[in-house]
A and B are shown apart, each in its own frame.
Chain A
Amino acid sequence: MDQTTAHALEAPFVQTFEQGNVGRTAMEAGSPPLLSITGLTVVLADRPETRLLDAVQLELRKGEFFALVGESGSGKSVLCSTIMGVASSELRCLGDIHIEGRRLSDVDRRQRAMIYQQPSLYLNPVRRIGFQLRETVQVIDGLSKKEASERAADLLRDVGIDDPNETMRKYPHEMSGGMNQRVMIAMAVAMKPQLLIADEPTSALDVTTQKQILDLLEQLRSDMAILFVTHDLGVALQRSDRIGVLYAGQLVEIGRADLVARTPLHPYTRALFSAVPPLSGRPRRLHSPAGSLPEPTQRQAGCNFASRCSGTLDTCRHTRPALQGIPQQMVACHNSEA
């Protein structure tokens, strides 16, 4: 454990993170969960043994900024589209998703909004920005065309676009990725959702724009819960209250961001930390675990990380570990106390 603590403290973002997160944990107590996911398992419809998500357990509260971290293929996007209710028809979902205590199928679609990694692909290329935003406002609020135009301009101003009327006349291809992402956020805000899913919204943007978009999301969190999906550990720790680490379709660690940053309990989380290059000091060789993420078709009965883990026990090969520990930080590992 000492060794891992040392690793974590080496990471430069821990400092920033601790300054930025004072007083954020208050929301953990009280209020019932806004989003509650229990035992969510997603399989391929024609091959049910292939699990893309495996018994995912997750609760989000209003005002919470939750970061979901995982590498490509870990199931992040499957989770997002399942919550949004737009999962491919080739997938079958088992388990429960509740929003404010109601089953997902009974919940108004407008309760959830989503923004995406490549906003330009999610905007209609042949319709003007103004049309698309106004349409959303009209459908959601039932406003007249003129009122909707004014509301659309206000929404664009709120997301930091200074010349909304000019922007509304443009087509998506005439705008930068950052501007398109702002438009997507404006559309999401127009829906007044309880839950905002942000699927790597800043991965395709340059760092300056990235910061602006993240600040924008920070402003929104008072009205909703934000599920922020990323593979950028630094961003995740800096901005979020809690983080979850997804590995091969399973949440292997979930907890308060400051606790996870200080003492990552799962060997995979530790591996993620040691793969982040330091910003200061002598560059060291970055560690990455041997092997690669097991394909969904090749996952074994035991722990998915067993083949890449240095502390593998006998039980790891036979029994899938479940999340356990104190509510502030849970881990799915047989050897986490070691």
Chain B
Amino acid sequence: MRRNTQKIFASKIARALVTLVLMVTSVFVLMRCAGDPVTVLLGPDATADMRAAYSGELGLDRPILAQYLTYLHNIVRGSLGVSYVYRQDALGVVLSHLPLTLILTCSALTLAALTGVAGGITAAVFPSSFIGRACTIGTVVGLCVPSFFLAIVLMLAFSIQLNWLPTGGAEGWRSLVLPAITMAAASSAVLARYTRVAVRESLDSRYVLAAFARDIPFWRILIHHVLPNAAVPILTILGLLIGGAVTGSTVVETVFSWPGIGNLFVTSVGNRDVPVVQAIVLLAGTAMIMTNLAVDLGYTWLDPRSKSSET
């Protein structure tokens, strides 16, 4: 059994590495497809001499395969080029924006996980009570309202009308509240929806029926029988949300002018700062693959059946 588990872990890690390489390669291909970098950098008025000189400097005149290998080599060394705008190492620029994004996404995801899972369980356990219905309706609203709209509504209410919280920036915890709530709303709704379905399904299962017949108290059944079974789909969704959130929500960061990675991404695209954009895309992809791997490994811990079924 132990050996089997190790084998599964190894194969999952190997699969994640293959995905990583594919991701890195497609970023390379997409960046080349996005247009001639020389034109982008020098503008359409550049002379042919200038263009040739710049091409040589960036190594763009070399064969594509050689360029690709250099690109891979640089990634392994952790050097992703120099930002055109900041005149600094692109990865360094991105990483300097990371802490603020992590603060925002961690608080938003914690909020989303707590409210989403609690709401989903409530909606599943008390489907026809007032509070259960409120959870279901809240879910639908959370799924339907786009975050830029919610952001503006919250700003109007709490910043402009009530003047409790700032409209933007990153000064102290007060400026964190509105962006975190905005970001959490949609994730919380998604989580609540999946939690409700998973908990409902487990509550309707025969092992729960049998547990009721054994006179096991309801709360014990919920905690020890229903939730461990519902955890698998919940973890999947949570993993996807984390993977997507590591790079920050571009929309929320932009609306609240939160100086995180999402904001940097939008600015850099506007500035045609290719190395920074590339660094962010690579970081986003890596984060997604890593959280997926973590979720995959989590399955084997949550659901003992996955150990023996996947050999």
Contacts and interface: CB of A to CB of B under 8 A. Distances in A.
A149 to B, nearest CB: 16
28 contacts: A84-B213, A86-B209, A108-B215, A109-B213, A110-B215, A112-B213, A113-B214, A114-B213, A116-B206, A121-B207, A122-B207, A122-B209, A123-B210, A124-B228, A125-B207, A125-B303, A125-B305, A126-B305, A127-B224, A127-B225, A135-B220, A139-B215, A139-B217, A140-B214, A173-B304, A173-B308, A184-B210, A191-B215
Interface string A102-144: 0000001110111010000111111100010001100110000
B158 interface: no
Given A139-B220, A171-B305, A86 B212 contact: yes
A126 B213 contact: no
Interface in B216-249: 216-217, 220, 224-225, 228-229
B211 interface: yes
A216 to B, nearest CB: 18
A86 B205 CA distance: 13
A113 B210 CA distance: 9
Nearest to B307: A171
B58 to A, nearest CB: 55
Contacts of A108: 215
A31 B213 CA distance: 27
Contact of A124 (B211, B212, B302, B308): B211
Interface of B: 205-207, 209-217, 220, 224-225, 228-229, 302-305, 308
B207 A123 contact: yes
A140 B209 contact: no
Contacts of A125: 207, 229, 303-305
Contacts of B205: 121
Nearest to B232: A126
Contact of A126 (B206, B211, B216, B229): B229
Question: In the complex, which range does the number of interface residues on chain A fall in?
Answer: 20 to 34
Interface string A175-188: 00000000010010
Interface of A: 84, 86, 108-110, 112-114, 116, 121-127, 131, 135-136, 139-140, 171, 173-174, 184, 187, 191
A187 B212 CA distance: 13
B210 A140 contact: no
Given A114-B210, A114-B213, 16 more contacts: A86-B209, A109-B213, A116-B210, A121-B206, A123-B207, A123-B210, A125-B305, A126-B229, A127-B228, A136-B214, A139-B215, A139-B217, A171-B304, A173-B308, A187-B214, A191-B214
Contacts of A121: 205-207
Contacts of A123: 207, 210
B225 A86 contact: no
- Top 6 nearest A-B pairs by Cβ distance? A122-B210, A124-B207, A109-B215, A171-B304, A121-B206, A126-B228
A116 B305 CA distance: 22
B203 to A, nearest CB: 12
A92 B217 CA distance: 25
A191 to B, nearest CB: 6
Contacts of B304: 125-126, 171, 173
Contacts of A112: 213
